[in-house]
Amino acid sequence: MTAVLTSIGHALEQALVMGWDILWALVLGFLLSGVVQAVVTKGEMSRLLPDHRPRTVLLASALGAASSSCSYAAVALARSLFRKGGDFIAVMAFQFASTNLVIELGVILWVLIGWQFTVAEFVGGLIMIVLLTVLLRQAISPDRVAEARAQAERGVAGRMEGHAGMDMSLSGGTVLSRALSARGYTAISHFYVMDWVSVWIDVAGGLLIAGALAAWVPHSFWSSLFVTRSLVWSKVVGPLIGPLVAVLSFVCSVGNVPLAAVLWNGGISFGGVISFLFADLIVLPILDIYRRYYGAKVAAQLFGLFYLAMVVAGYLVEWLFGALGWIPGHQSVQIFQTSITWNYTTVLDILALLVSAALIWRFLGTGGPRMLKGMAKMPVDMQHPPHQHPM
């Protein structure tokens, strides 16, 4: 019994230390995301996505990058845009960008395993969107899109529809004036807290899983799984296995970054890490939501096409970054501290906690709790919150 408790304690300690390492990055990422969401309105998005021409797909990607990082909210908002007349391929590009081209993901990747992964995530994300656009155009027929739209119109519940349906962004004036106004401060605080409420389960789950794997799984297992004894075969296997590990882990959004760090430390290829990160949109709970939103046939096609695009994007990123000499060595990356100590990370975390306290205080004083209670009952197509932001 003592050995079991010691083992569990070691896993929890690993998760806690890793969480402490990325706390300030999470706060910074969600703060920047809140600022962007506060000044970029969702109200006209569906009108801007009428087709899947290159310009429209590029716009969809930009709008997605300015949205929430919550995978469930991204999927729900994509259905809302589709129901309002948005093109299916364009909203799929929007959905992918909403979880893989967002600020907070890049910040955490940079802090935890290095700038190369941040750059690869964004470069690979653009590659992934191009691949998805091509694959969806070839594989999803107009009849299948009609079936998906008919199923979407039924309005079957999935998860996070209330979060996806809320639009607290501001209009009028310059972007800077909106962000610095009292109403801007309120909107930012609401987006900040709402994003935390949306993803904290994924973040906590990712840290716990990563801590357990780091503490309990021997390095020999990872070496065997990722065929690290062969440089060529490890690059072949990595992008194939990466998404499947994500599917089975159930962790999505920014919560899969700690697990990506563990996999990298275990020997998975560079391209395998990138394909793993992309797979937050094919985890089992989200596949079930696709089934509810668009029907079983479309859900199956989305899984197959997303997986194929992720694998190919992983290979292309591996080749490109290898040619540039930007792939770091596994042994040169320390994925987290061995303990919490007084250093720059601790200072940044304390500052981050102070910023969080100020935003939460504003949230509590401006109707935030009432908004959260109403979120679960809010229809997905609702475009405005049930209250006005106080000055």
Judge whether residue 313 has pLDDT over 60: yes
Q: What share of the chain is helix, strand, coil (3-state, %, to 5)?
A: 75, 0, 25
* Residues near 73 by beta carbon (within 8 Å), at least 6 away in sequence: 67, 98, 160, 163, 164, 198
Q: Tell me which of 331 and 75 has the higher pLDDT.
A: 75
Question: Got the DSSP string for 143-154?
Answer: HHHHHHHHHHTT
Using CA atoms, how far apart are residues 184 and 90, in angstroms rounded to an integer? 29
Q: How many CB atoms lie within 10 A of CB 254?
A: 29
Using CA atoms, how far apart are residues 358 and 14, in angstroms rounded to an integer? 29
Question: Got the DSSP string for 16-52?
Answer: HHHHHHHHHHHHHHHHHHHHHHHHS-STTTGGG-SS-
Closest CA to 16 of 209, 217, 207: 207
**pTM score:** 0.79
pLDDT digits (tens, 9 = 90+) for 269-296: 999 999 999 998 898 888 988 998 999 9
Q: What are the C-alpha distances in Å from 191 to residues 36, 64, 153, 187, 242?
A: 10, 15, 28, 6, 31
Question: Got the DSSP string for 324-348?
Answer: HT-PPPGGG---S-SS--SSHHHHH
Structure tokens at 348: 């940044």
Using CA atoms, how far apart are residues 75 and 359, in angstroms rounded to an integer? 27
* Residues near 332 by beta carbon (within 8 Å), at least 6 away in sequence: none
Least confident of 185-189, 206-210, 351-355: 206-210
Judge whether residue 325 has pLDDT over 90: yes
Closest CA to 273 of 57, 113, 94, 153: 113
Closest CA to 280 of 312, 305, 257: 257
Using CA atoms, how far apart are residues 229 and 290, in angstroms rounded to an integer? 38
Using CA atoms, how far apart are residues 267 and 262, in angstroms rounded to an integer? 9
Q: How many CB atoms lie within 10 A of CB 38?
A: 26
Task: Name the DSSP class of 256.
Answer: G
Percent share of the chain, pLDDT over 70: 83
Structure tokens at 319: 């080749």
What is the reported pLDDT for 387?
A: 42
- Give the pLDDT band of residue 362 (cuts 50, 70, 90): very high
What is the reported pLDDT for 216?
A: 85
Closest CA to 383 of 188, 165, 159: 165
What is the reported pLDDT for 227?
A: 82
Radius of gyration over alpha carbons of the chain, in Å? Answer: 21
- Give the pLDDT band of residue 390 (cuts 50, 70, 90): very low
- Give the pLDDT band of residue 382 (cuts 50, 70, 90): very low
Tokens 């000499």 correspond to 325
Structure tokens at 171: 């209009």
- Give the pLDDT band of residue 370 (cuts 50, 70, 90): confident
Task: Name the DSSP class of 281.
Answer: G
